[in-house]
């Protein structure tokens, strides 16, 4: 495993991180979740990403139980706050009330006194940004949060957040965008902003919801037991399932063979070679998947292979920076045609 500094901070993270968005508390029971976490640790993965929203808190609970016997200082725990977690008027957003209460609830579910990275899951334009940053500052000073980050903020939002963070001495160090060979909307504006201000990026969905593994084939039903057959995960993967897209992705296999790796490793390695990226967050429902993707840190991509990827995917790459805050707004060519009748 390779370990990288997250932006200009002193925090080091594993280049491959384990995220439990659609798995813990949904697809996996506690025993299966614990097996995956153990496999991640065996592969050298020390960075774990979750959120209060995932499975309505059950994902944090499952991760906390799976790590209960692990030395706390040996891992980096990352969680998030903003998306709705209940029916109340203050059960969502980035108000001081929700951030403080959300942090305490996450700490309880994770079974820890602090999180290494606390992230604003989205931007909240209904709350003054000063209020949000001051709440983060107070949690940092109380020792409950070591570093602060955000997810899916635009470049102007990042700049204003960084300005306030500097005034309040908040260690704002990270951005978590969707980023893959297919989804590159952050490259035009967000990546240069992160480079300018020293933000490290933890990319989510580097495998494009598993599509870039080559597991899904055009004209065929998804394999039994795959994420695409799960009611929750399947709703996201359905956006990436046109025959055109799946056919083009299948052609990546020859490039992976040239690089001496699997398609999953190629996709993760591609993200890890992008500027400002400190880590790639992968999911897994089976322990062996983590052993495979963790090995992506050893894959080296030269300019020729990268150019072949660009030429192959061509007009199927989403680059529109306006979609930075709309991670599910995929291009029509990725979606299957509507069912007849």
Which of the following is catalytic: 54, 118, 147, 179?
A: 54
Measured distance CA(17)–CA(274) in Å, rounded: 16
Beta bridge partners of 43: none
Measured distance CA(310)–CA(208) in Å, rounded: 16
Query: Which residues contact residue 236 at a Cβ distance below 8 angstroms, ignoring those fewer than 6 apart?
Result: 22, 209, 328
Element housing 60 (H / E)? helix 58-66
- Measured in degrees and rounded to the nearest 5, phi and psi for residue 319 equal -125, 0
The DSSP 8-state label assigned to residue 178 in this structure reads B
Q: Number of C-alpha atoms within 13 angstroms, CB side, residue 251?
A: 12
54 among known catalytic residues: yes
List of E strands, the chain? 3-5, 12-14, 16-19, 47-49, 76-81, 115-120, 145-151, 172-176, 200-204, 277-282
Q: Are the C-beta atoms of 312 and 252 separated by less than 8 Å?
A: yes
> What is the CA 9 to chain-centroid distance, rounded?
19
The DSSP 8-state label assigned to residue 262 in this structure reads -
List of E strands, 127-218? 145-151, 172-176, 200-204
Query: What's the distance, Cα to Cα, between the start and end of the chain in Å?
Result: 51
Measured distance CA(185)–CA(191) in Å, rounded: 9
Q: Mutual orientation of helices 155-168 and 129-141 as an angle, nearest 10°?
A: 50
Beta bridge partners of 20: none
Q: Are the C-beta atoms of 177 and 190 separated by less than 8 Å?
A: yes
| Residues annotated as part of the active site | 54
């Amino acid at each position: 495993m390779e370990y990288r500094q997250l932006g200009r901070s002193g925090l080091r993270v594993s280049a491959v991180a384990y995220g439990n968005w659609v798995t813990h508390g949904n697809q996996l029971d506690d025993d299966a979740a614990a097996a995956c976490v153990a496999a991640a640790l065996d592969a050298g993965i020390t960075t774990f990403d979750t959120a209060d929203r995932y499975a309505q808190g059950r994902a944090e609970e499952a991760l906390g139980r799976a790590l209960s016997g692990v030395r706390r200082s040996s891992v980096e725990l990352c969680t998030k706050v903003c998306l709705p977690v209940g029916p109340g008027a203050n059960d969502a957003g980035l108000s001081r009330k929700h951030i403080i209460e959300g942090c305490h609830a996450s700490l309880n579910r994770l079974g820890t006194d602090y999180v290494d990275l606390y992230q604003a899951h989205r931007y909240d334009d209904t709350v003054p940004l000063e209020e949000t940053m001051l709440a983060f500052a107070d949690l940092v000073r109380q020792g409950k949060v070591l570093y602060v980050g955000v997810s899916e903020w635009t470049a102007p939002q990042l700049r204003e957040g960084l300005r306030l963070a500097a005034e309040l001495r908040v260690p704002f160090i990270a951005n978590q965008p969707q980023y893959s060979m297919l989804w590159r909307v952050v490259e035009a504006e967000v990546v240069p902003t992160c480079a300018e201000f020293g933000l490290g990026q933890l990319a989510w969905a580097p495998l494009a919801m598993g599509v870039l593994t080559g597991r899904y084939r055009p004209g065929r039903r998804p394999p039994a037991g795959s994420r695409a057959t799960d009611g929750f995960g399947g709703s996201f993967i359905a956006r990436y399932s046109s025959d055109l897209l799946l056919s083009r992705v299948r052609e990546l296999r020859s490039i992976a063979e040239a690089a001496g790796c699997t398609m999953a490793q190629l996709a993760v390695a591609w993200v890890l070679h992008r500027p400002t990226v400190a880590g790639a967050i992968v999911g897994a429902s089976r322990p062996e998947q983590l052993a495979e993707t963790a090995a992506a840190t050893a894959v080296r991509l030269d300019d020729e292979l990268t150019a072949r990827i660009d030429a192959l995917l061509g007009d199927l790459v989403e680059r529109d920076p306006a979609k930075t805050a709309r991670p599910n707004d995929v291009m029509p060519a990725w979606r299957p045609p509507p069912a007849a009748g």
